[in-house]
């Protein structure tokens, strides 16, 4: 089961804020599903693979041109290509860990922030429930 499925526990008692929370949770639920079924990684992985492949082709073309024309900074320029290739390889390998870290972060945020901090805001907005206090939700257009 997707841990980001809407639950009544996320209600804070303000229609607009509750609607926003529902929308945010739907997006997070979609992200979770895409990460878990592999479509998010597949999409990003596909783009990264094409970028790596084309970069390799481009770098070979550029380096060949530099060698043919005796470009004086060839070694330095080639090292920049190597740094790019190494960094891209490293970041591509980290992609799955980042996806898992993102889900852990979002899970904590949804529970702790929505059920804690946002509820405290709504308690403040609603104010004392006594008539005539001037601070309840109906007096501020909620």
Q: For residue 86, tell me if it sits in a domain.
A: yes
Q: For residue 36, tell me if it sits in a domain.
A: no
Q: For residue 133, tell me if it sits in a domain.
A: no
Separation CA 142–CA 135 (nearest Å): 11
Q: For residue 52, tell me if it sits in a domain.
A: yes
Question: CB 95: neighbour CB atoms within 10 A?
Answer: 13
Total number of domains in the chain: 1
* pLDDT score of 135: 45
Q: For residue 60, tell me if it sits in a domain.
A: yes
* pLDDT score of 134: 44
Q: For residue 140, tell me if it sits in a domain.
A: no
Task: Give residue 88's domain range.
Answer: 8-29+41-127
Q: For residue 34, tell me if it sits in a domain.
A: no
pLDDT in tens, 62-93: 999 999 999 999 999 999 999 999 998 888 88
Q: What is the CATH number of the domain that holds 122?
A: 1.20.120
pLDDT band at 129 (very low <50, low <70, confident <90, very high): low
Q: Where are the alpha helices (DSSP H) in 1-142?
A: 15-37, 39-68, 74-109, 119-126
Q: For residue 24, tell me if it sits in a domain.
A: yes
* pLDDT score of 141: 45
Separation CA 102–CA 114 (nearest Å): 17
Provide CB contacts within 8 A for 59, sequence distance 6+: 81, 84, 85
């Amino acid at each position: 089961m997707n841990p980001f499925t809407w639950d009544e526990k996320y209600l804070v008692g303000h229609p607009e804020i509750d609607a926003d929370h529902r929308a945010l949770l739907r997006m997070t639920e979609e992200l979770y599903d895409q990460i878990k079924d592999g479509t998010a990684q597949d999409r990003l992985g596909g783009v990264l693979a094409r970028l790596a492949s084309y970069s390799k082709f481009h770098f070979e073309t550029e380096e060949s041109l530099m060698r043919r024309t005796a470009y004086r900074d060839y070694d330095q320029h080639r090292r920049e290509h190597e740094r790019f290739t190494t960094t891209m390889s490293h970041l591509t390998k980290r992609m799955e860990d980042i996806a898992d870290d993102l889900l852990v972060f979002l899970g904590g945020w949804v529970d702790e922030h929505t059920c804690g901090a946002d509820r405290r805001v709504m308690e403040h907005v609603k104010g004392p429930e006594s008539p005539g206090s001037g601070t309840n939700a109906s007096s501020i257009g909620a």
